[in-house]
């Protein structure tokens, strides 16, 4: 690959910011909190000592400031791994590509990425309104098959691939795991588990309105294969972090247990608990 990037490959706005995130390199910190919902960004940044940067474009909202004297950013990603593909590549471009010259920098910078989200559980023993840290993740969306040189295998992935019964979905699967270093910050979480990242909210998560899902027992099957919970972003965050040389961790608050039909009694209180719990461990 040539070191110089074509304008069609690294698309920039008129002010030189990366296209979708609308950010310049100085707009982000080395520690970035990733949330799905744009409305959650100010709910996080209200705990900062001060906010220096507020920028947005489409569903991507970013606030950067300081917390206990250390610089930190919070960014909304929207829903799905297709959005994470944009976020991860453009975040990496901000720190590892000279945007003016459109050339790769000689020295690599590694970001610390903290996904702060909500999830549903497929394990009947997992209680709602508790923190769950993702150790292993399986992506059912196929994203990483579009990238060269991505390979990952461990005990969880080998067992999952061997026993996964759905032939149509199997070619799309890929796997990744957490940053053990960042995981140490959250070792007191009530749950550590294996997450499934789905490419949709309805049939992929076993919901049926007018259209029938593949299998009424899909969530139960995933639990039998070692999956604890499910959501829609972590597989791409973890896998792309590995390829790009960043560190990533996902902390989700369990707001629903699908096997027991339970939902959080107070979703707003649960969200506040998640935010303060995660922030207290990112920066002591």
Model confidence over 47-100: pLDDT tens digits?
A: 999 999 999 999 999 999 999 999 999 999 999 999 999 999 999 999 999 999
How many angstroms separate the CA atoms of 28 and 92, rounded? 11
CA of 40: how far to CAs of 43, 75, 119, 255, in Å? 5, 9, 15, 16
Tell me, yes or no, whether 147 lies in a domain. yes
Residue 36 within a domain: yes
In a domain? residue 151: yes
The rounded distance, in Å, linking the Cα atoms of 168 and 160 is 15
**In a domain? residue 114:** yes
Q: How far apart are CA 133 and CA 261, in angstroms?
A: 22
Residue 226 has pLDDT above 70, yes or no: yes
At 182-210, the pLDDT tens digits run: 999 999 999 999 999 999 999 999 899 99
Assess whether pLDDT exceeds 90 at residue 284: no
- Residues in CB range of 147: below 8 A, 6 or more apart: 243
Q: Is residue 144 part of a domain?
A: yes
In CATH, what number is assigned to the domain containing residue 229?
A: 3.40.50.1580
Residue 252 lies in a domain: yes
pLDDT > 90: percent of the chain: 92
Position 60 scores a pLDDT of: 98
pLDDT of residue 261: 86
Q: Quick check: is 19 in a domain?
A: no
Q: What is the mean pLDDT of the chain?
A: 95
Q: How many domains would you assign to the chain?
A: 1
* Residue 1 scores a pLDDT above 50: no
Has residue 14 been placed in a domain? no
Write out the H or E segment, with its range, that includes residue 271: helix 267-282
Q: What is the mean pLDDT of residues 117-138?
A: 95
**Which two structure tokens, joined as six digits, stand for 161?**
């691939």
pLDDT-above-70 percentage for the chain: 99
Among 130, 134, 143, 79, which Cα is nearest to 249's?
134
**Which range of residues forms the domain containing residue 237?**
25-282
């Amino acid at each position: 690959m040539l070191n110089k990037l074509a304008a069609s490959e690294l698309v920039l706005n008129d002010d030189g910011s990366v296209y979708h995130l609308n950010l310049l390199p100085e707009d982000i910190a080395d520690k970035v909190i990733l949330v799905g919902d744009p409305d959650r960004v100010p709910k996080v940044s209200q705990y900062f000592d001060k906010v220096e940067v507020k920028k947005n474009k489409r569903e991507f909202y970013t606030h950067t400031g300081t917390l206990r004297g250390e610089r930190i950013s919070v960014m909304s990603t929207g829903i799905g791994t297709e959005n994470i593909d944009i976020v991860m590549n453009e975040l990496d471009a901000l720190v590892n590509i000279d945007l003016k010259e459109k050339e790769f920098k000689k020295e690599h910078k590694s970001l610390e990425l903290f996904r702060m989200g909500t999830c549903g559980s497929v394990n009947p023993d997992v209680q709602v309104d508790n923190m769950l840290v993702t150790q292993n993740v399986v992506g059912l969306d196929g994203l990483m098959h579009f990238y060269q040189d991505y390979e990952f295998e461990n005990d969880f992935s080998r067992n999952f691939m061997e026993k996964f019964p759905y032939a149509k979905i199997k070619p799309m699967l890929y796997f990744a795991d957490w940053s053990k270093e960042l995981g140490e910050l959250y070792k007191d979480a009530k749950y550590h588990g294996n997450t499934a990242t789905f490419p949709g909210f309805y049939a992929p998560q076993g919901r049926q309105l007018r259209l029938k899902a593949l299998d009424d027992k899909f969530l139960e099957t995933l639990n039998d294969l070692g999956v604890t919970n499910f959501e829609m972003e972590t597989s791409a965050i973890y896998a792309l972090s590995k390829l790009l040389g960043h560190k990533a961790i996902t902390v989700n608050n369990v707001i629903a247990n699908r096997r027991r039909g339970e939902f959080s009694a107070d979703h707003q209180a649960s969200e506040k608990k998640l935010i303060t719990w995660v922030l207290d461990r990112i920066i002591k």
